[in-house]
Structure 1
Amino acid sequence: MEENQTVVTEFILLGFCVGPRIQVLLFGLFSLLYALTLLGNGAILGLVSLNPRLHTPMYFFLCHLAAVDIAYACNTVPQMLVNLLRPAKSISFAGCMAQTFLFMTFAHAESLLLVVMSYDRYVAICHPLRYSVVMSWRACTVLAITSWVFSFLLALVHVVLILRLPFCGPHEINHFFCEVLSVLKLACADTRLNKIVIFAACIFIVLGPLCLVLVSYTRILGAILRIQSGEGRRKAFSTCSSHLCVVGLFFGSAIILYMAPKSHHPEEQQKILLLFYSFFNPLLNPLIYSLRNRDVKGALRRRLFKESRSQLE
């Protein structure tokens, strides 16, 4: 290492290039949305745990998705809120690496969980008589644990490859959190291996799962069209359309962000896309599932009615 190289112990997050008044406005808006994200996903976790009718494989995986969404928000939003009001916007090197690792772990986990949820719907609609055998609680537990472990290990590979790189300055990250591509721009060495691994991971963790989801829903669509009962067809469409909305939001954002050609203003567009990817997706997921799912809405009404009746007594 050259003598004029210095070890970077912290990074500066540049965040959003806006005036002080806009920063205060964004702080209030993002604080509200953050609270709604925690409330919405927390409500799903609470309803599923308290209502025995929702103790099914579909809601088991939905709880894991809600946990991922809460973790997403807690990993990036608090730091972003602090930086909107604090002039020094610094983050330690260790904290930055931890934030990158957690973000990638949760991103990979959500991708795999969406595949598992599509498979669950495929078995439920296309092979209803075998559903209890194929999607047993043991199988569900194995699928969930496998998704988390694989996500953890893949994210660990990315972070280990980053840690081998020297960082000698500048130390300003043009982002609101330690996003992996933004961190790599500050490395004082060749990062081609890191980018190749990131692109390969996108193929296996984005395009691969997306193809599996599309195959599952192509077969599901064919099975739904063969259902004779109008009520049964409507219920199947309602359940699957909710999942497809989440799939479209997640994979669409990921493909544009990490696999699409870069535009003339990649950094600013990347901030907006990642804000949607890691902030608004966790907020929208519980709204999509609760507004388009009769079981969740029914459980919520029963819980609220029970609480109000107990207060009156």
Structure 2
Amino acid sequence: MRMEKQLKMEISNMTSIMEFVLLGFSDIPNSQWILFGIFLVIYLTILMCNSIIILITSIDPVLQTPMYFFLNNFSLLEICYVTATVPRMLMDLLTQKGIISLVACAAQMCFVITFGSSECLLLTVMAYDRYVAICNPLHYPLVMNHKICVQLAIASWVSGVPVVIGQTCQIFSLPFCGSNRINHFFCDIPPVLKLACGDIYLNEIELYVAAVVFIMVPCLLIIVSYGKIIANILKISSASGRAKAFSTCSSHLIVVVLFYGTATITYLQPKPNQSEGTGKVISLFYTVLIPTLNPIIYTLRNKDIMVALRKLLSQL
């Protein structure tokens, strides 16, 4: 009788969880309003800076080149990417509740991973664009024509969608029992999987495979591209020519190192070595802090963008 009652309770626990609680930064309760103010300013800064880049690269005739077309797409992706996490985080800091339904959690996970994988692919496309521009300048207008650029951009945006939707559906078809408290500020795959009951080995394998496909493979392609770019730049006899070539690539390379470095630690680190607190901090870097730095890196290190910005400000 007791065993039957216990079994019923276990089944009830497995099926009754219809919402999660995002703990966020509840471990520092006295700083909720300070964090709300900081993240609100950061979010508005990301929106404003990326919107300015989109505007400038869309209207300035000088910036109608493949490099700035991809930068335009990248800025739009950044806005989508941070919007998938930060508004929810701000609401949780404001209400101090953090309650999120299974459907909302699944939707957030799907959007975050989709936009993140799209960024990985778009950064690879941007590296390829710089490779063609520097290593094959005579063929550049032919290879990177407008049609090819549009196709590459669309491929970057949509290639990961079927994989991410399938993976999200599989994760949320798992039974969740026991605790419903996610020690994170958004529904990321690793902390959600920790709450699942049953065998999650297949889901972990799928996570590693997806991480290899969307993080490691693009990263290796970028390394190869930049290896050839650097080798080609070193052959330039003029010091000013070398400096100009490096300046067009350095911004992109900095962004790649920051984004891929933190994403690799999060999704490819062995499970026993993962700390929830450390994972939260690293996630904060690639979801909030790096998107804040990206527009600054691209604008301050790019003369064309700065000239276009001054022109726009003078017109206003």
Q: What's the TM-score bracket when you normalise by the shorter of the two chains? A: over 0.9
Deviation at 1:93, TM superposition (A): 1.0
Moved more, 24-33 or 6-15: 6-15
Instruction: Indicate yes or no: 2:310 matched with 1:301.
Output: yes
Aligned counterparts of 2:15 and 2:185: Cα–Cα separation in 1 = 24
Whole-angstrom distance in 2 between the partners of 1:263 and 1:239: 40
What number of residue pairs does the alignment pair up? 307
Structure 1 range deviating more: 207-216 or 228-237:
228-237
In the TM superposition, residue 265 of structure 1 has moved relative to its aligned partner by: 6.5
Deviation at 1:19? 4.1
Report the residue type matching 1:209 in the other structure.
Answer: P
TM-score between both structures, scaled by the size of structure 2: 0.93
Deviating runs (4+, > 4 A) in structure 1?
262-265
Structure 1 pair 189/286, CA: closer, same or farther in 2 (3 Å)? same
Gaps of 5+ in 2: 1-6
Q: Distance in 1 between matches of 2:115 and 2:106?
A: 14
| Match in the other structure for 1:310 | none
SS state of the match for residue 11, structure 1? strand
* Cα distance, 1:123 vs structure 2: 0.2
CA drift at 1:49: 0.9
Partner residue in 2 for 1:165? 174
* Matches of 1:187 and 1:281, distance apart in 2: 30
Give the SS at the match of 2:100.
strand
User: Which of 84, 98, 110 is the equivalent residue of 1:89?
Assistant: 98
C-alpha contact (below 8 Å) 2:131/2:226 kept by paired residues:
yes
| AA in 1 matched with 2:54 | L
- Asked if 1:190 is matched to 2:199, the reply is yes
- Verify the 8 A CA contact 1:118 1:213 in the aligned structure 2: yes
Q: 1:153 aligns with which of 139, 155, 162?
A: 162
Partner in structure 2 of residue 250 of structure 1: 259
1:178 to 177, 187, 209: 187
- Structure 1 CA distance for aligned equivalents of residues 158 and 29 of structure 2: 42
Map 1:1-313 to 2 at 5 A.
Answer: 3-4=11-12, 5-262=14-271, 266-307=275-316
* In 1: Cα distance, 2:273 partner to 2:262 partner: 18
Q: Give per-residue Cα distances to partners, 1:252-275, cap 9 Å, x unaligned.
A: 001111112357661000100000
Q: Which ranges of structure 1 fall in alignment gaps of 5 or more residues? A: 308-313
TM-score for the superposition, normalised by structure 1: 0.94
Task: Please tell me the root mean square deviation across aligned C-alpha atoms, in Å.
Answer: 1.5
- Equivalent pair of 1:72/1:279 in contact (CA under 8 Å): no
Superposed CA deviations along residues 202-223 of structure 1, whole A, max 9, x for unmatched, are 1111111111101101110111
CA distance in 1, matches of 2:298, 2:88: 28
Q: CA deviation at 1:116?
A: 0.3
Cα distance in 1 for partners of 2:228, 2:28 equals 51
Compared with structure 1, are the counterparts of its residues 267 and 273 closer, same or farther at alpha carbon in structure 2 (3 Å cutoff)? same
Whichever residue aligns with residue 233 of structure 1, its letter is: R
